[in-house]
Amino acid sequence: MAATISPLAPKSYPDMPDLEGVRFATASAGIKYKGRTDVLLAVMDPGTTVAGVFTRSKCSSAPVDWCKAILKRGTARGLMVNSGNANAFTGRKGKAAVELSAQIASKALDCGVDEVFLASTGVIGEPLPAEKFSGVIDGLATFENPASWIEAAKAIMTTDTYPKVATATVELDGETITINGMAKGAGMIAPDMATMLSFIFTDAAISADVLQSMLSSQTDGSFNAITVDSDTSTSDTVLLFATGAAAKRGIAPVESIEDARYETIRAALGDLMQSLSHQIVRDGEGATKFVEVRVEGAESDASAKRIALSIANSPLVKTAIAGEDANWGRVVMAVGKAGEPADRDRLAIWFGDIRVAVEGERDPDYDEAATTAVMQQEDIVIRVELGLGSGEASVWTCDLTKEYVAINGDYRS
Amino acid sequence: MAATISPLAPKSYPDMPDLEGVRFATASAGIKYKGRTDVLLAVMDPGTTVAGVFTRSKCSSAPVDWCKAILKRGTARGLMVNSGNANAFTGRKGKAAVELSAQIASKALDCGVDEVFLASTGVIGEPLPAEKFSGVIDGLATFENPASWIEAAKAIMTTDTYPKVATATVELDGETITINGMAKGAGMIAPDMATMLSFIFTDAAISADVLQSMLSSQTDGSFNAITVDSDTSTSDTVLLFATGAAAKRGIAPVESIEDARYETIRAALGDLMQSLSHQIVRDGEGATKFVEVRVEGAESDASAKRIALSIANSPLVKTAIAGEDANWGRVVMAVGKAGEPADRDRLAIWFGDIRVAVEGERDPDYDEAATTAVMQQEDIVIRVELGLGSGEASVWTCDLTKEYVAINGDYRS
């Protein structure tokens, strides 16, 4: 938790509505940080279904392994998250720590060990002192009701400068269901998998396989389309819980992707996931600019996304943005290095609404002053038209500043 | 050309021996820089053979396209290089500029237009005012003899803080042949192709196909095994010229890779190319540490190299090195994100001679103070043992500092 809040932070938080079927408690276990909360415990009503997407890292953390193993059941009663220690690359000690963590939480929640999902975020390679959870979790006699989403989101922060929450409501059968979510992340953010930690809840009743389908289909355009530094975490976890409490209000469960309500909920979920993922980029370590990289006219959507990521991950593009320099030559370089089909002489590039390059060279009407004005804005759109096909993709990133280097030059110590 | 010389710069330059069959001239054409040389013209004796490797960027520069086209002939009489403008992404204007450049040089050298190799380095996207070469090149009545290698290397610098040269001599048939080379590069340095500009000369007589074989086979372990910032240039060019002047001293031409002398020369060339490529890394923009990343025990050499590059290109690993932080957890992260076969629980990691992790967790004998002492050195070796097979690779990189961001936040303007 940094002293200074990102200049790109949202100006206000949404008013998070109560969501029936889930309650939170936070605590200070002193895992690494002092004087702040570092444990989040969520308890969900019996019958809650769960879906998850996880890092594709070959060195995934012990809690990721745990969640993957118990996800098969499709149901959840508890979620425990700690910040300050990722319990990653901790060998047998790491496995023992997740087992102890789940035992402590299951005892407090009076549920099965394999109904407790776990996530840890923080330093890699240090053994997690899970016994510290015992004292604080056992003592949590009552959970807040209504749950405080902001407090929950704060407990899972590491280098984040602000808590990240989003909410959506959907009208179903004349009744309202709610989707609330939180996320954390600021560095070690790269796509191609579920990125960092995010926990999303709905009171709708949705069967586990349908829930998983909703979550997986919306990951590509949200958490898998952001990058801060091209570095992929060992701990990336997105969990979506459906408490089913809305069924008590007469909203029938969604048990098939053919159900007309599936698309309605899925769309709202997608917007919420995109909001959370953009909040992560806006808290990118050292970030001063929020950048959409849009690639159109590629041979395929997948090709467009790889080119967009090549641009969004280029240190030279990102430092130019930090310097408010309309250095579109570096965008050309990043298109060229992506290894994807591209024809230099068909390329066109826009910064904001200004076309800076066309047909493989500088736009004849290029206006440096107007382009610089675009670069001085806080939110910048870089658009590349390849002129080859109809493939398109957007990814979101931030600039690379001296502050990123400062934050990461001494994060661990 | 920066005011401050990289702290990793060589403490002295080698005494570059004369190399028969090539002469240099440098000039100030005022392409972009003031008060320094920015054009290098080399003239080679008739009969000089040439080999080249170039960027695989899909947006290669006009001079790269030119060189690729004329390389088929296998012979060269001239080389003209300018700094300050890359003549990349300049469309038809770029093609016209290389044609005019070659005409101006061929007139001065009294040779065919298609015997003149061209390279340009500097800003991307600005039209190259090739007519400026005319005044300065036409006026170069004489070439320095012996050639000044340091002056030649200085004329091709951009953000380089020092000129890069290397030399080797090889005994053949009781006589000595010489290999001299120069290189430039400090940013936009990434492997997977010939990286940045390097020009290497030998007085040995070597047929063009044999020369190409030598050059190509040594590129993977040298210029293709370095990275400063993971960004691949549009202009990467390595040219190797064999003037054949040694034939006058009775050293028969090397015309087959079965010739016993092939391996002797190839080995010396490889050492020289590695020296030049390491000099580029040591001049990495903002660099304060020179880092070898060595991966062993991978399923294949190619897999080892991809993992090594994932580590060497990770902003989080590089900022930790800048901060002298023995943050081996980030090395684990970078292994995990590489997408290559890896088994977390077999991983072992060394910083220098100190094993920091073994069997998927922190080494039981881990000593923070001893490891920090390694990180405080200027040259650091990070070694990863995967325990899967016999694949191995080394790549070389530098740290990522605030200075890199400062240099690239306002390079163009």
**Whose structure tokens read 């000369």?**
B201
**Cis upstream peptide for A146 (omega within 30°):** yes
Region B295-304: mean pLDDT is 95
Give the residue from chain B lying closest to A362, CA to CA.
B125
> pLDDT of B28-40, one tens digit each?
999 988 888 899 9
Residue B370: pLDDT over 90: yes
Which of A89, A315, A357 minimises the CB distance to B125?
A357
Q: How far is A98 from chain B (nearest CA, A)?
A: 15
Which of A125, A333, A357 minimises the CB distance to B362?
A125
Q: Which of B318, B330, B366 to mutate to test the interface with A (most CBs of A within 10 A)?
A: B330
Tell me the C-alpha to C-alpha distance, in Å, between residue B138 and each of B41, B118, B153: 11, 17, 21
Active site residue A227: no
In the sheet that holds A379-385, the strands lie side by side as A226-227, A391-398, A290-298, A379-385, A348-351, A354-358, A361-362
Contact A58/B342, CB-based, under 8 Å?
Answer: yes
Burial class, A300, CB count within 10 angstroms (exposed 0-12 / middle 13-18 / buried 19+): middle
Which of B90, B361, B402 minimises the CB distance to A406?
B402
**Whose structure tokens read 């710069």?**
B9
> pLDDT of A74-89, one tens digit each?
999 999 999 989 898 8
Region A281-290: mean pLDDT is 88
Residue B191: pLDDT over 50: no
B22-282 against B290-409: fold identical: no
Q: Which residues of chain A make contact with B322, given a CB cutoff of 8 A?
A: 405, 409
Note the pLDDT of residue A1: 42
In the sheet that holds A175-184, the strands lie side by side as A49-54, A237-242, A197-202, A175-184, A164-172
> pLDDT of B327-341, one tens digit each?
888 899 889 888 898
> pLDDT of A369-395, one tens digit each?
999 999 999 999 999 999 999 999 998
Q: Which residues of chain A make contact with B89, given a CB cutoff of 8 A?
A: 329, 332, 344, 347, 357, 360-362
For A95-104, B58-67, B288-297, which range has the lowest pLDDT when averaged over its residues?
A: B58-67
> pLDDT of A34-65, one tens digit each?
888 899 999 999 999 998 888 878 888 899 99
Known binding-site residues of B equal 158, 184, 195, 285, 408, 413
Q: Which of A167, A195, A202, A401 is catalytic?
A: A195
**Other beta carbons less than 10 A from residue B83's beta carbon:** 28
**8 Å CB contact between A363 and A326:** no
Residue B412: pLDDT over 60: no
Q: Which residues of chain B make contact with A314, given a CB cutoff of 8 A?
A: 230-231
Q: How far is B96 from chain A (nearest CA, A)?
A: 13
Q: How far is A84 from chain B (nearest CA, A)?
A: 14
> pLDDT of B211-256, one tens digit each?
988 888 888 887 777 777 777 777 777 788 899 888 888 899 999 9
Say which CATH topology domain A290-409 has. Ubiquitin-like (UB roll) (3.10.20)
Q: Which of B48, B55, B121, B195 is catalytic?
A: B195
CATH of A22-282, one of 3.40.1010.10, 3.60.70.12, 3.40.50.2300, 3.90.180.10: 3.60.70.12
Give the tokens for residue B252.
């028969």
Note the pLDDT of residue A144: 61
Note the pLDDT of residue A410: 66
**Other beta carbons less than 10 A from residue A131's beta carbon:** 12
Known binding-site residues of B for substrate equal 158, 184, 195, 285, 408, 413
Q: Which residues of chain B make contact with A56, given a CB cutoff of 8 A?
A: 339
Q: How far is B335 from chain A (nearest CA, A)?
A: 7
Write the secondary structure of chain A as one string of H (helix), E (strand) and C (coil): CCCCCCCCCCCCCCCCCCCCCEEEEEECCCCCCCCCCCEEEEEECCCCEEEEEECCCCCCCHHHHHHHHHHCCCECCEEEEEEEECCCCCHHHHHHHHHHHHHHHHHHHCCCHHHEEEEEEEECCCCCCCHHHHHHHHCCCCCECCCCHHHHHHHCCCCCCCCEEEEEEEEECCEEEEEEEEEECCCCCCCCCCCCEEEEEECCCECHHHHHHHHHHHHCCCHHHEECCCCCCCCCEEEEEECCHHHHHCCCCECCCCCHHHHHHHHHHHHHHHHHHHHHHHCCCCCCCEEEEEEEEECCHHHHHHHHHHHHCCHHHHHHHHCCCCCHHHHHHHHHHCCCCCCHHHCEEEECCEEEEECCEECCCCCHHHHHHHHCCCEEEEEEECCCCCEEEEEEEECCCHHHHHHHHCCCC
Q: Which of A93, A337, A372, A407 to mutate to test the interface with B (most CBs of B within 10 A)?
A: A337
Known binding-site residues of A equal 158, 184, 195, 285, 408, 413
Which of A91, A124, A409 minimises the CB distance to B359?
A91
Residue B299 vs residue B233, higher pLDDT: B299
**8 Å CB contact between B383 and B350:** yes
Note the pLDDT of residue B45: 92
For A73-77, A328-332, B170-174, which range has the lowest pLDDT when averaged over its residues?
A: B170-174
Q: Give the count of Cβ contacts less than 8 A between chain A and B.
A: 232
Residue A181: pLDDT over 90: no
What lies within 8 Å, CB to CB, of B149 at 6+ separation is: B16, B24, B165, B180, B182
**Whose structure tokens read 């953009």?**
A278
Q: Where are the domains of chain B?
A: 22-282, 290-409
Residue B92: pLDDT over 50: yes
| A292/A351 Cα distance (integer angstroms) | 10
Note the pLDDT of residue B258: 92
Note the pLDDT of residue B105: 93
Give which of A216, A221, A149 is closest to A183, Cα–Cα: A149
